[in-house]
Amino acid sequence: MIIPASERLRSVEEYYFSSKLQEIREMVARGIPVINLGIGNPDLPPSPATVDELASAARKPDRHGYQAYKGLPKLRDAIAGYLRSTHGLSLDPATEILPLPGSKQGMIYLALAFLNPGDRALVGELSYPTYTSVTRLAGGEIAVYPLNPDDHWAPDWSNLESLNLTGVKLLWANYPHMPTGAPARRSTLQRLVDFGLKHHILICHDNPYSMLSSTAEPVSILTCNGAKETAVELGSMSKSHNMAGWRVGWLTGRKDYIDTVLRVATQVESGMFQPVQEAAIRALQSGSEWFDGLRAEYDRRRALGTEILLMLGCTVDAGQAGMFVWGRIPEDAPDAKTFSDSILQTRHLFITPGSIFGPRGDRYLRLSLCCPVSILHSARERAGLRPTPVNASGEAL
């Protein structure tokens, strides 16, 4: 390059998966058939009606121009209706909903909208790495808050209150929790709201997994008492409607929070493709049978994923939600990355080490359920095999 990269890029590391996937590609090129159970990339399709709506709308000649930053009014209405029926949430579609080209986009928007250089954001000691990266890209600093595994990975409340909160403006949270699979509980979300109100901190709740649990009711933080004063919530169609590559999400919250984030959005995007919005409207009208089928599929996969981890000597908590299984590695394993690498080399299974989500994950693995049941059956067979000695190149000895 004739000029150096910006200083802000020094604050973010190369994404773990980018280098690991290259290693897996090289193994496959050498004829080693790796089963990848590491990536959370939904493999199921959207409903046929959703795809048909996209195709139909895309054929119309007047659907290809720039779109409003706040999305189609009918899309905001559909989001409001979906959240009312699934989460019991009452929102004004005109002022309290902002459609987004994916909820990940909303994370950087929130950081840019509310963080000045030097401001601080609280991030759980196990969390989606993007919370940290968007905070740093916006010039903010990270303050890590502890979680309590004995309380369904809720914040460790006493330790959270004892932290130095000087300069803290945001707190990132998500329940059902990724990577641990801990289900959302209204009591946890209410305490987060109370914490935000007490300390004048905006709680940014990321809620993409709530429709994937067959044992826990979907919960929105915005239904908690006082939530609209101190919280916003990100939603996504990636997992709930199998539309990850379509990039459709939203931010919900009080009008002044939405308007502030909208000021960022208008500078960096030009709205979503109208046929995608129209297809999203159709998807949001899916009935309960859609979610029943989706949850049943993930239940089947979760049972197999749990078996795989148990066969590898891990322990797994019951009642997990989302599209992953979180398991504690055997006590005699040195650490998560070493254990993950040994499984990759001896059984040709890639399972994500929990340490990429924070140091507290150093004794855990996260197994993705984003593959067909047939693949999980094959992975279970490999998990039960006696390890084959390999050389440094991963070739059998």
Residue range(s) in the chain whose domain bears CATH number 3.40.640.10: 59-284
Give residue 138's pLDDT.
95
Closest CA to 291 of 250, 252, 239: 239
> Residues 135, 170: contact at Cβ < 8 Å?
yes
Identity (one letter) of the amino acid at 366?
R
Strands (E), 237-371: 249-252, 315-316, 324-328, 349-350, 352-353, 364-368
Q: What is the mean pLDDT of each run of 10 residues along the chain (397 residues)?
A: 79 70 89 92 95 97 93 97 96 98 96 97 96 95 96 96 97 97 96 98 97 90 98 97 96 98 94 97 94 95 97 95 96 95 95 94 97 96 68 44
Looking at residue 340, its amino acid is S
pTM: 0.92
Is the CB of residue 241 less than 8 Å from the CB of residue 281?
no
CB atoms within 10 A of CB 263: 12
Q: ω into residue 48 within 30 of 0, thus cis?
A: no
Give the pLDDT of residue 15.
64
Q: Where do the CATH 3.90.1150.10 domains begin and end in the chain?
A: 7-45+289-383
- Report phi then psi at 184, rounded to 5: -75, 135
Cβ atoms of residues 356 and 15 within 8 Å: no
Topology classification of domain 7-45+289-383: Aspartate Aminotransferase, domain 1 (3.90.1150)
267 CB-near residues (< 8 Å, 6+ apart): none
Task: Return the CATH fold of 59-284.
Answer: Aspartate Aminotransferase; domain 2 (3.40.640)
Predicted pLDDT at 152? 94
| Listed residue (352, 376, 385, 364) closest to 316, CA to CA | 364
